[in-house]
Structure 1
Amino acid sequence: MRVLITTDILSEGHNLQDSAIIVNYDLPWAIIRLIQRAGRVDRIGQTADRILCYSFLPDEGVERIINLRARLRRRLQENAEVVGTDETFFEDDSPQVILDIYNEKSGILDGEEDAEVDLTSEAFQIWKNATDNNPTLKKTIESMPNVVYSTRAHTPVPLQPEGVLLYMKTTEGNDSLIWVDRAGNSVTQSQLAILRIAACDEATPAIARDKQHHELVQKGAELIAEEELTAGGQLGKSSGARFRTYERLKSYFKQMDGTIFASDELSKAIDEIYRYPLRQSAIDTLNRQLKSGIGDRALAELVVGLRMDDRFCIVSEDGDKREPMIICSLGLFQRI
């Protein structure tokens, strides 16, 4: 047959390898159905070089009539209530998520990255692999002065433009990465993406510094400082361990006020986390526990324990803020 119009149920069990074009004129509530449809065509016996999949979404006027999004959201909610599910099409009211799915945007089905946990783990693994393979690197890298810089060849693409990567310690003691383009704009908020774009091996040759390099480093440092002030105040980013722990404990303490769980030690720990930066070991511990879904009471006990063992905050007695410190920068520019 040249054309087959069918529902998922009617097409089940049919091998459609003689076809090479799929037209989706609806949006299934489970992504697997899209995969299954393509699988009935792209199977043993298929002779076409390419399988083409077209998907149609209703325009605004039709959407108001058929109310597709609301019906899908209700179906997903009912499914979650019965069997539980992590599959989500709608994080908010923006239709962009659906469009990204149908346009096969790279990474749309990937889980959300916990930036700080993954960043710490990945950075340590990069360091370990490099120094294990070449032990002399450890001494060489550790003896480098701050503000050291280099440049490597980079071919720009729409989402990965030319620019500078900057690693900096802020006045609050936080480690921050930023990637700024030639216009001085931040390219991405993902610390992990910035770490990965910096990847190169020992044999990667350095190229001449671009004339904008230091100017972009300055712009990056200003953006980091501005972000630290605006994104959660002195607690740092809202996705960070310090911000999340503070908000959780503040809410928990308010609920427990007047009970035995609202201890003086917990109150001191909450005050400390607001005033001082966390130690790196505390950040790693808290990120692991937050990612594993630790409860409020257990989180409070963990924080109090870390504080009593002097493994929680970097306490400055005079209360003075540190100077921001640029550790290093890497230029990403086309070879001339």
Structure 2
Amino acid sequence: DSSFYAFKKSLHRFMMATKAMVTMFENGKIYIAPNLPVSDFTNEGTEAELLELIIENSIEDPTIDICEPDDFEYDFLSGLKNDYELLKSLNKEWSKIEDDPKLEIFVDYLQNILLKKKINPTSKLIVFSESKETTDYLYRELPKYIDEKILMVDSKSRKEKMPIIRANFDANILKSEQKNDFNIVISTEVLAEGINLHRANVIVNYDTPWNSTRLMQRIGRVNRIGSVAKEVHVYNFYPTAKVNDDIELEKKAIMKLQAFHAALGEDSQIYSPDEETETFGLFDHELEEEKDEKLAYLMMIRDIKEKNPTFFKQIKNMPMRARVGRKNGDLNSSTISFVKDAKRDAFIYINSKDEIEELTFLETVKKFEADANEKGIPLHSKHHEQVKAAIQTFTDKIEEEKAKDKKVDVTQGPNEKRAISYLDAMINLPFTNDAETELIIKAKEAIRKGRFQNLQRDINKLKRAVGKSPLNPVIILERIMAILKSYPLVNEDVDEIEQVKVVTSKLLNPEIIITESFT
């Protein structure tokens, strides 16, 4: 919806991308590489160069993948061909359309409203669009209708043109340095931040950005301290009714801007007369801060530490396995135990029916909280039994987690088998040296153990990329070595020994920090 020209260009790109997909299907290799110009290479018939580029980037770019037609649903290709024919037809029909009613309206406003002294004392204008194709188009077409000095800026030219922009649109620079070589600047979002444009006071949003925050940022370029005009005028092209029905772009922009008005107390409309700018009392009252319960308890501890350091030190020096009996009818014959080890802790609650539940910190602290004058009472008869059950529960959980960590699915699927077979082929090459062979053997073992989730995937990706291409085996081996060296294969055995030591020495020694039993 940015411009007719941008729409035609997008439609043509979509058609060419679909054509490239059909070609790749017919050639038996489908390259998925969002960061590479796959369609251009394919449609130009330079797949060999594309393959080299994919192999070169595949190690560091996780978005690259190589598929075969069998990886897709059986009717996917017929759907692609059907899409391609439809897109060809659409491109043909749109190529016949030369009128541009949006441009016509813009030119009419330029000639009769936007540059008039009544609203625009400096006759300077800022035009924003999200699409570079639209800004290029406007820069090319507007001189046919108006005799104005136009500057066009995008991401590639921003740095180079910054001195010109400042001299012509920044009201903060010295008067002696200000120029009037240009009075219209057409820009993508590159000028929506970090630059003063407040010698102008009129903005045209030629399209509606997906991120409506951009609208506020654009206006911020001219609505600044030192602005030359008393008022800022914003003109917006809204999406067509059909586009708005489909994607609700206008509605979403208004809703988001309305949220800003409500939260920040904005006092002027930005995009639509439907925006309500009242502050809903946000700045008329002191807001009651929402209490973060954890923070409240931490502040209580801090207060004790600052106001009663002796008492705080007594608490800090309490011995492990501290226990106390307390009177609480709602928790009769129950116990809460705080148990921990080197890696985790838990608050374990056992009720009078010996039902066990792990509590959160907040659930526990609310039950532990007591008046300073409360006296302890003798422990009930089930206290020791319940503490033992808490320790056993904690130990069982640790064992379960340990088992999950150590569990390895040694079943080799087709991906693992393909990767190992490819590595075997590398070992059998006559020029593979001993160090490379040793690394390949370690990689095969790692795949069998399932040690790295993506190792076999990376190897198979390279295998698919190479396919039947006449690529030098030396280069293939180099690529394999680059993949293997990106994984910590050399220290595999050491890592496993160290892991076992940690498990046996620390994980299974839970400590009781404190217990409370209620009667």
Return the TM-score normalized by structure 2: 0.26
Greater relative contact order structure (CA < 8 Å, 6+ sep): 1
